[in-house]
Chain A
Amino acid sequence: MTDKLKEIRLAGLEAFAAAETSDQLELLRQQYLGKKGLLTEILKGLGRLSPEERRQTGQLANEIKNQLAGAIESRKEELLANASLFVQPPDLTIPGTGMARGGLHPVTQMCYDLNDAFRSLNFEIFSEDEITSELYAFDHLNFPPGHPARETMDTYWIEGTESKHGAERLCLRPHLTGGSVRYLQKHGAPARFVYPGRVFRNESTDSRHERAFFQYEALIVDRDFSFSSGLLLVRTILEKVFGREIPVRMRAGFFPFVEPGFEIDMACQVCGGEGCPVCQHSGWVEVMPGGSPHPNVLRAAGLDPDVWSGFFINIGLDRLVMMRYGVDDVRLFHSADLRFLEQFR
């Protein structure tokens, strides 16, 4: 009987080690340790033995039983440790599955990046209505009477008001700067705010020109503000937006509402300043006009130009987005075409 028990032990241990799944192991457990298992069957003959033999054999049987049970458990652990969910390893080169669709317009994304940059410098965000009057769009901004921009050719005048003047002649705002005067009239100086928005020009469109486009204006009005501080601000902002230092240059430029006025160029990000079609081979891209608000503009805002001065920039958001992604047609921004917009998630 002892020999038989030892045989069972040997066979069991071998069988368990060979088992490949926990199901097989379970069957083997039944086979060896179950109520009708081999061990139980053998122990049925225990009654025929002498008490001394019975005790010794029983002890051995117990020992074997524990040993086998332990072996099953450790084999189970072993199997689990090496288990996989796959019988056949899957093809891991197949791409991951998509996330939910949807996204912000690339212009909004750029706008938020700028907002974050300016908010960190404690600027306020301002917004204004799209329909304004000649008073704010031109008169307050030192546009001389008869300036071409005041003509129908350039500005979308509101029907019924087009032959009136000043506050009574209404239009879709041709730029944001008039709204800045409203801000200053309301809040006074010192002031520090940004003003993102859409502006409208009555002109024929092509890949570089649109009737509706986005501007981002930033204005500081303070005592004795110098434009060299302003340029530093521009550099800081561009660096935040692009995540690296962007060469910037300021050059002479004329706009009625600033004096002195500048054009601010940034190194072309498409070619890295080497020259390409986007920058018309100059290596520089005009991104924003800027300057100190013209004394007449400050006066229109109710501020004394001998006390207050400031710095103003007006970023062409479309241009900046085009730079960021290499987009070559500004009209795509208003296309509402998902095939374009979904590229900017």
Chain B
Amino acid sequence: MKASLNWIRTYADLPADITAEQLSHDLTMRTVEVEAVTNPADLVDGIIIGRVITIRKHPQADRLVVCDVDIGEEETSQIVCGGTNLYENQLVVVAPVGASVRWHGEGQRVELAAAKVRGVVSNGMICASEELDLEDLFPPSEDEEAEIVDLTALFPDACPGQPLADVLGLGDLILDIDNKSLTNRPDLWGHYGLARELCAIYGGTLRPLPTYQKPESAADYAVSIADPSRCFRYDAVVYEGVRPEKSPFHMRRLIWSVGMRPINIIVDITNYIMLAVGQPTHAFDESHVRNGIRVRTAKEGESLELLDGRELTLLPSDLLICDGGDKAIGLAGIMGGARDSILPETRNIVFEVANFEAIGIRKTASHHRVRTEASMRFEKAIDTQRCDLALGIAQQLLSEWQPGARLVAAGAHRARETESIELPVSLQFLNVRSGCPITAEAAAAALTPLGFGVCFDGRDTLTLQVPSWRATGDVSIKDDILEEVCRMIGYENFRYTPPAITLGKAVRQLGMESDRAIREFLAYRAGLQEIFTYPWVDDSFLSITGGKTDSLVSLASPPSPDHHYLRGSLIPGLLEATVLNSRYYETYGLFEVAQVFAKGEVSLFTAEEKLPLQERRLGLALAGAEPFPLFRLLKGILSQIPRFGRVQGWSFAPVGDKMPWADRNAWLRIVSEDGTVIGSMGLLSPKATADSGVRVPCVALAELSLDQMVPLQSRDNRFEHLPLFPLVEQDLSIVVDEKISWAQVSEAVSNHVHDAEFVEEYRGEQVPEGKKSLMFRFRLSGETGTLTAEAIDQMRSRLIKKLKYTIGAEMR
């Protein structure tokens, strides 16, 4: 919301010399966030008044003329102009050389230089309103093609050379306030409320507003509210003999300076009132309103055409303004109907000042997607008393600016009044919760200027009367008072007190520690990069990885149509990230820790709350050139997680079904000590590799449940004694059937060696079809002394015999 300091000053005595910085800082610290402060005069920096002295035809161009313009200097200035409404002695707006304008109202502003226009020197330009971003203030008339701004009638006393900003009175500070920080303060959606706040901050006095008087001559006007739970108050005032012409300039300027477009005096007055006190009002052309006003909810299937031309099919919960004939003439609190706009020929108006229930307005506005300045304010819950302020301002403005208009009838239905709230608050409470001593005087000094009634019992209790404009939900409990007092004293003025809390037992959280240890292991030992991906998955990656969708949880309004499902696995997201990075890298590893979701009904807190299944998982992806080494690398990383992450160990086995995305020859399940499958790993199948478009030859993926890992109390590996006698290390190459696995070899030799370690596999020349060569390294230890060469040979040949006997191994 934008607010003008000049406007605020009409209600409040504030220090004359407040700077933009000071104002912005103080208001931000105490009340609402000021995002920017601007001065409208900056728009026309360097722009001055000129008087056209002579007008000559341009020798080279029919559409241009050459003017001599008095710009307050000794000599007139020659300016070439294409304006069609020029005349001698006209007061015009001149952009001299050096000033900047928006050429034809388009593009960036450019700085003017002295130039020749079709061969004739032009020292600047005579401006149209759009060239200075003033088109809302000086709207070009529709029949004139190239109209320049004519100030002769409006400002006859303006002097050539005078800055335009001074003549128009543009010098002001416009505060741009963050709407979000105003959400709970319906009283601040108008200048009067801000004036009150600034008076409280700077110690100024707030001037009272005019009050409304129904003339004795005025007739009664029929107003009825059919649903008093939705409309608390409706006042209708009928004026005859209005002339909806242009508003006086200073009114237009005020409305324009805070970002609204001036229309005509009647519409401008309704906007002015809203901007002044935050109370939306509306004017109907009386010729469309027959026999009074009726406020009711819509009927099933009823429709309404709005002022902006949209045709709405209404819901029974929508609230309507109807005339006495029950014809809908407006969507209550949001927008008028199409047929009731105030046109230049309008002579009689019905002026609406009403109060509507907030939630209903919000529902209707959001359902039909019509959010207006009015609905935004009603949604915040306005006090009914504010209608009186609006009526008072309306009456004063109309009598001032439309002396021909007469208030001929008025009527009201006042169903409910915003109740004032009385709150007892203890000083002790304020002291303890702020952490600082607050006296009754200090509390009163903070609250009184804000409109609170303050009464102190002399001991500990302040009894506060909450003003109506703060009593619609904003201030209702003693904690709200604490906030009011503290923010007005200023949070920056509180000293910091150390908390008086006792230290309990040291916090120990094994799961959290394992989680971090695992991530640090993966990042700093295994060389993988942690990533985060969105919980919604891309449909195409879902189908590439063969994810079933029937068990997936989905979003009601997804971020995009093909990101409908929430992930049931980390694999699709990891694959997508792998594909993305394959454009720049050849070998890399990624991991992600995140939750996955599946349909289900989990009630941990209340029976009614049935949450889906949610599990924290760890996902890994490796990209590389060679399939089997990549698989082994992933397996190696996974097997070391328990050690480094300090969780119970696991094993690998090809149990259950293959994962849909995995190569049929390279996948394993991860099985916990109690036999539960807690994860899986494998190479991405050639089909999925091709479908994904990944630019690396091979991708290995793994996923395992973090929730099913069992953190250990401490590290659990036992110390091993160093060997008493030196170990002897030897290599052995054997040829075995293809179907013989390393696990079988390892099992066969286990009783004969200290330990054995796989070295490599080989297939090809010198190895028969259907066989493979397998090389491993083993170590032997002597029990009673260093092994002799003889003993070693003996042990080796026993080993060879055992291999031949158990798995049919031949030596190579």
The CA-CA distance from A101 to B801 in the complex, in Å, is 46
Q: Which of B599-650 contact A (CB under 8 A)?
A: 605-606, 608-612, 614, 616
Known: A157-B557, A167-B610. 16 other contacts (CB 8 A): A102-B528, A102-B529, A105-B531, A131-B553, A131-B597, A158-B612, A162-B557, A166-B608, A226-B433, A227-B434, A229-B435, A232-B496, A232-B498, A249-B29, A254-B183, A294-B479
Q: B674 contacts the other chain (Cβ, under 8 Å)? A: no
**Stretch in B98-106, B440-448, B583-591 touching the partner:** B583-591
Chain A: CB-nearest residue to B502: A190
Q: B516 contacts the other chain (Cβ, under 8 Å)? A: yes
Interface string of A196-217 (1 = CB under 8 A from B): 0010101000000001100000
Chain B: CB-nearest residue to A335: B580
The CA-CA distance from A148 to B358 in the complex, in Å, is 12
Contact of A229 among B483, B498, B526 (CB under 8 A): B498
**Stretch in A15-23, A54-62, A89-97, A122-130 touching the partner:** A122-130
Q: Which residues of B contact A133 (CB under 8 A)?
A: 609, 611
The minimal Cβ–Cβ distance linking B681 to chain A, given in whole angstroms, is 18
Q: Which residues of B contact A101 (CB under 8 A)?
A: 527, 529, 588-589
The CA-CA distance from A167 to B605 in the complex, in Å, is 10
Q: B532 to A334, Cβ gap below 8 A?
A: yes
Q: Which residues of A contact B434 (CB under 8 A)?
A: 226-228
**Given A145-B359, A158-B555, A254-B184, A119:B507 Cβ within 8 A:** yes
Q: B535 to A124, Cβ gap below 8 A?
A: no
Q: Which residues of A contact B143 (CB under 8 A)?
A: none
Interface string of B467-491 (1 = CB under 8 A from A): 0000001000101101100110001
Contact of A168 among B495, B525, B608 (CB under 8 A): B608
Q: B436 contacts the other chain (Cβ, under 8 Å)? A: yes
Pairs A–B under 8 Å by Cβ, sample size 20: A131-B612, A135-B606, A146-B358, A146-B359, A156-B559, A159-B553, A159-B554, A159-B555, A226-B433, A226-B434, A228-B435, A228-B496, A232-B496, A252-B32, A260-B479, A333-B532, A336-B533, A336-B577, A339-B584, A341-B529
The CA-CA distance from A232 to B495 in the complex, in Å, is 9
Q: Which residues of A contact B35 (CB under 8 A)?
A: 280
Q: B29 to A259, Cβ gap below 8 A?
A: no
Q: Which residues of B contact A115 (CB under 8 A)?
A: 516
Q: Which residues of A contact B526 (CB under 8 A)?
A: 102
Q: Which residues of A contact B535 (CB under 8 A)?
A: 130, 172, 200, 212
Q: A342 contacts the other chain (Cβ, under 8 Å)? A: yes
The minimal Cβ–Cβ distance linking A230 to chain B, given in whole angstroms, is 8
Q: B181 to A104, Cβ gap below 8 A?
A: no
Q: Which of B137-189 contact A (CB under 8 A)?
A: 181, 183-185
**Given A152-B557, A341-B531, A251:B29 Cβ within 8 A:** yes
Q: B307 contacts the other chain (Cβ, under 8 Å)? A: no
Q: B509 contacts the other chain (Cβ, under 8 Å)? A: yes
Q: A12 contacts the other chain (Cβ, under 8 Å)? A: no
Q: B742 contacts the other chain (Cβ, under 8 Å)? A: no
Chain A: CB-nearest residue to B485: A260
Q: Which residues of B contact A123 (CB under 8 A)?
A: 507
Q: A182 to B556, Cβ gap below 8 A?
A: no
Q: Which residues of A contact B183 (CB under 8 A)?
A: 254
Q: Which residues of A contact B503 (CB under 8 A)?
A: 122
Q: B529 to A342, Cβ gap below 8 A?
A: yes
Q: Which residues of A contact B479 (CB under 8 A)?
A: 259-260, 292, 294-295
Q: Which residues of A contact B557 (CB under 8 A)?
A: 152, 156-157, 162, 202
The CA-CA distance from A260 to B589 in the complex, in Å, is 47
Chain A: CB-nearest residue to B25: A282
Closest 8 pairs (CB-CB, A-B): A226-B435, A260-B483, A228-B435, A336-B577, A102-B527, A167-B609, A229-B499, A167-B608
The minimal Cβ–Cβ distance linking B150 to chain A, given in whole angstroms, is 38
Q: Which residues of B contact A107 (CB under 8 A)?
A: 532
The count of residues in chain A whose C-beta lies closer than 8 Å to any C-beta of chain B is 90
Q: A252 to B487, Cβ gap below 8 A?
A: yes
The CA-CA distance from A125 to B507 in the complex, in Å, is 9
The CA-CA distance from A295 to B616 in the complex, in Å, is 33
The minimal Cβ–Cβ distance linking A99 to chain B, given in whole angstroms, is 9
Q: Which residues of A contact B362 (CB under 8 A)?
A: 146, 148
The CA-CA distance from A156 to B597 in the complex, in Å, is 15
Q: B506 contacts the other chain (Cβ, under 8 Å)? A: yes
Q: Which of B494-521 contact A (CB under 8 A)?
A: 494-501, 503-504, 506-507, 509, 512, 516, 519-520
Q: B432 contacts the other chain (Cβ, under 8 Å)? A: yes
The CA-CA distance from A129 to B498 in the complex, in Å, is 33
Q: Which of B694-743 contact A (CB under 8 A)?
A: none
Q: A227 to B435, Cβ gap below 8 A?
A: yes
Chain A: CB-nearest residue to B479: A259
Q: B534 contacts the other chain (Cβ, under 8 Å)? A: yes
Q: Which residues of B contact A254 (CB under 8 A)?
A: 181, 183-185
Chain A: CB-nearest residue to B558: A156
Q: B501 to A220, Cβ gap below 8 A?
A: yes
Q: B492 contacts the other chain (Cβ, under 8 Å)? A: yes
The CA-CA distance from A107 to B558 in the complex, in Å, is 25
Q: B534 to A261, Cβ gap below 8 A?
A: no
**Given A153-B366, A168-B608, A227:B499 Cβ within 8 A:** no
The CA-CA distance from A39 to B605 in the complex, in Å, is 100
Q: B672 contacts the other chain (Cβ, under 8 Å)? A: no
Q: Which of A266-282 contact B (CB under 8 A)?
A: 280
The CA-CA distance from A224 to B363 in the complex, in Å, is 40
Q: A250 contacts the other chain (Cβ, under 8 Å)? A: yes
The CA-CA distance from A249 to B588 in the complex, in Å, is 43
**Given A133-B609, A249-B491, A162:B556 Cβ within 8 A:** yes
Q: Which of A148-175 contact B (CB under 8 A)?
A: 148, 151-153, 156-162, 166-168, 170, 172
Q: A34 contacts the other chain (Cβ, under 8 Å)? A: no
Q: Which of A234-266 contact B (CB under 8 A)?
A: 235, 249-254, 256, 259-263
Q: B348 contacts the other chain (Cβ, under 8 Å)? A: no
Q: A38 contacts the other chain (Cβ, under 8 Å)? A: no
Chain B: CB-nearest residue to A296: B477
Q: Which residues of B contact A231 (CB under 8 A)?
A: 491, 494, 496
Contact of A336 among B532, B555, B595 (CB under 8 A): B532
Chain B: CB-nearest residue to A198: B532
Contact of B499 among A100, A102, A220, A339 (CB under 8 A): A220
Q: A122 to B486, Cβ gap below 8 A?
A: no
The CA-CA distance from A161 to B503 in the complex, in Å, is 43
The minimal Cβ–Cβ distance linking B477 to chain A, given in whole angstroms, is 6
Q: A103 contacts the other chain (Cβ, under 8 Å)? A: yes
The CA-CA distance from A335 to B584 in the complex, in Å, is 14
Q: Which of A6-54 contact B (CB under 8 A)?
A: none
Q: B30 contacts the other chain (Cβ, under 8 Å)? A: yes
**Given A158-B554, A229-B499, A251-B30, A108:B181 Cβ within 8 A:** no
The CA-CA distance from A123 to B529 in the complex, in Å, is 28
Q: B31 to A252, Cβ gap below 8 A?
A: yes
The CA-CA distance from A251 to B236 in the complex, in Å, is 42
Interface string of A310-345 (1 = CB under 8 A from B): 000000000000000000000001111111011000
